[in-house]
Amino acid sequence: MAAFMAVTLAVVIVQDLPLGSYLMRTERERITTALERDAFVLAGRSEEALEAGVPDPALVTDAQRYHRSSGARVVIVDTSGTAVATSDDDQATAGSSYRSRPEIGTALSGQITTGQRRSDSLGTDLLYVTVPVLSGEQVVGAVRLTYPAHVVTDQVRGQLRALWLVAAVTVILAGIVAFLIAGTVTRRLQQLRRTTEHLAEGHLGARTPESAGAPEIRSLARSFNRMADRLEYLLRQQRAFAGDASHQLRTPLTALRLRLDGAADLIDADPAAARRTLASAQDEVLRLQQLVDALLVLSRADDSGTAPQQTDLAEVARARVEQWEPLADESGTRITVTAPAAALVLAVPGAAEQIIDNLLDNALTVSSSGSTVEVTVDKATGDAVDLHVLDHGPGLSAEDRIRAFDRFWRARTDTEGSGLGLAIVAQLARASGATAELLPRSPNGGLDAHVRFRAVTPR
C-alpha cells in the first residue's frame, strides 16, 4: 500500500512541478498581454490632449477608473517625460519627471517595453508595460502601467494550492485503492496461514478454498491442499502400519517367547523335547522374519513417490517364472508363461517383479501337486496391457475376492502366510497407475489374478 502511494506521489510530483512553472509563465503572459492592450487603449484616449499640450481632467478620470477596476497604476507622460496624469488620488506626482525611468525613455523613443523590475520607492517588484503615444508617426508621450508582481505570484499560488489539493486527494484515493487491492491478497494469505496453523496443530482435514483470490493465490492454495492431502495420507498410512505391525508381530513374538521359555525348562529334564521346542522356535523366527520383510515392502510401497517408468512386462514375466520354476518343481507344480516379444508398460521401479512374485507365491500355495499355474501377458487395448496369473486352487467367494486385498486378511487361519501379499500387489499397482483384481477362473475353482497396466504410448 505504501509503495503504491509512493509511486502515485512520485507521478503527481513529476507532473505538477512542470505544470506549476507553466502556470506561472502563462499567468504572467496573460497579465502582460492584458496590460499592453489596456495601455494602447489609454494611449489612444490621451493622444489629443498630449498633442495639444493642454492638461485634460478626463485623462485623470480615465486613469483612476482603470486603477480601481484593474489594480494597475497608470502614469501618462509627455515628450519630456513629465507626468501629465496619474491614477493616484492626490495627483501629487503630476508634474514630476519620469525621464530617468528606463522603460519611459524607451517608450518615448517609439518602442514598446514590458518586464519586471524592483521599485526602490515602493519596496516591491513591479510588472510594467510602457507604450508610446503616437500622433501619426510622431511620439507625443507615453503610457506606463505597473502591476505588483506579488499579485501574479499570489494568483499562481492559489492555483497551485488547488492543484496540490487535487494531488493529495489523488494520493489518498490511491492509498484506498491499494488498501482494497492489498486486502484481497492479504485476506487470502491470512486464511492460508490459519489453515497452515490448524494443519500444524494436528487437524489433518484442514484445507483452504481454491476458488478465491488472484490466480497466483489460487495456484498456491491448490499446491497447499495437495501437500495436505499427501501429508494426511502418509500419516494415516504410518499409523495404520504401526497399528498393523504391532498387532501382527505380537502373536509370533509371544509364541517365540513361550517356546524359548519352554525349551529353557526342558534342557536338563528332557533334551529331546527341548530340541523340538527350539526347532518350533526357529520356525516362528522364520515366520517373524517373513512378516517383517513383508511389512517393510508394504511400507516402501505406501511411501513410494517415484514416478512410473517404462518396463517390459513380458521380459519381467519370463524372468520371474524362470526363478520360480525350481520351487514349483519341488511341489510338483508346473508354471507356464505366455507373453509377446515385448510389452512396454508404466510401473514404478521393481513393482512388476514384486507383483508377479506375490501372485506366484499365492498361486503355488493354493495349487495342488500336478496342477499348472499359467502366467499370461497380453495387450488388452491400445493403451493397456493385462497380466494374468491363473491357478487351479479352491478359489474364493465374491466377497472374499474383494477382502483378499486387505492387509493381514487370510482365507484360512491355518496357513503360514502373512496376509500381506495381495495388499502389496494392490499398493504397488496403485503406485504404478495400474489396477488389480481377483476373478473366478471357472465354476469348479481356481482364480485369475488380473493386473491391468498402462501401456507405453509410442511417439
pLDDT tens digits, one per residue of 307-338: 788 999 999 999 989 988 888 888 889 999 99
Cα–Cα distances (Å) from 2 to 165, 168, 186, 322, 383, in that order, read 19, 14, 15, 74, 57
Beta bridge partners of 335: 373
Nearest in space to 57 (alpha carbons), one of 96, 82, 94, 93: 94
Nearest in space to 402 (alpha carbons), one of 442, 447, 367: 447
Q: What does the alpha-carbon distance between residue 191 and residue 181 come to, in Å, rounded to a whole number?
A: 16
Q: What is the mean pLDDT of the chain?
A: 81
Return the amino acid letter for 324: W
Residue 441 has pLDDT above 90, yes or no: no
Return the amino acid letter for 321: V
Q: Strand pairing of 447-455 and 384-390?
A: antiparallel
Residue 376 has pLDDT above 90, yes or no: yes
- 406 in Cβ contact with 423 (< 8 Å): yes
* pLDDT score recorded for residue 266: 76
* pLDDT score recorded for residue 377: 93
DSSP state of 339: -
Name the pLDDT band for 249 (thresholds 50, 70, 90).
low
Going 86 to 87 to 92 to 97, the CA torsion angle's sign is negative
Grid cell of 260 as nine digits: 524359548
Q: What does the alpha-carbon distance between residue 56 and residue 76 come to, in Å, rounded to a whole number?
A: 11
Tracing cell 509364541 back to the chain, one arrives at 255
How buried is residue 411: exposed, middle or buried, by Cβ count under 10 Å (0-12/13-18/19+)?
middle
The residue-averaged pLDDT of 9-38 equals 80
Residue 413 has pLDDT above 60, yes or no: no
Neighbours of 3 (CB within 10 A): 9
Residue 414 has pLDDT above 50, yes or no: no
Name the pLDDT band for 184 (thresholds 50, 70, 90).
confident
- Does residue 9 or residue 444 have the better pLDDT? 9
Beta bridge partners of 312: 344
Cα–Cα distances (Å) from 455 to 314, 339, 383, 452, in that order, read 12, 15, 5, 9
Grid cell of 43 as nine digits: 494611449
- 438 in Cβ contact with 396 (< 8 Å): yes
Which of 18-32, 325-339, 366-380 is the least confident region? 18-32
DSSP state of 345: E
Q: What is the SS3 assignment for 161? A: helix
The residue-averaged pLDDT of 52-65 equals 84
- 365 in Cβ contact with 398 (< 8 Å): no
* pLDDT score recorded for residue 293: 65
- Does residue 303 or residue 182 have the better pLDDT? 182
Q: What is the dihedral of CA 147, 150, 153, 154, to 10 degrees?
A: -110
Tracing cell 522374519 back to the chain, one arrives at 289
Nearest in space to 195 (alpha carbons), one of 233, 221, 231: 221
Name the pLDDT band for 386 (thresholds 50, 70, 90).
very high
Name the pLDDT band for 14 (thresholds 50, 70, 90).
confident
- 355 in Cβ contact with 425 (< 8 Å): yes
Angle among Cα 353, 320, 382 to the nearest 5 degrees reads: 65
Nearest in space to 334 (alpha carbons), one of 369, 378, 377: 369
Q: What does the alpha-carbon distance between residue 404 and residue 332 come to, in Å, rounded to a whole number?
A: 26
pLDDT digits (tens, 9 = 90+) for 111-170: 998 888 887 766 778 888 999 998 888 898 999 998 887 777 777 777 778 888 888 888
* pLDDT score recorded for residue 337: 92
Q: What does the alpha-carbon distance between residue 182 and residue 220 come to, in Å, rounded to a whole number?
A: 17
Nearest in space to 132 (alpha carbons), one of 76, 58, 72, 48: 76
- Does residue 377 or residue 164 have the better pLDDT? 377
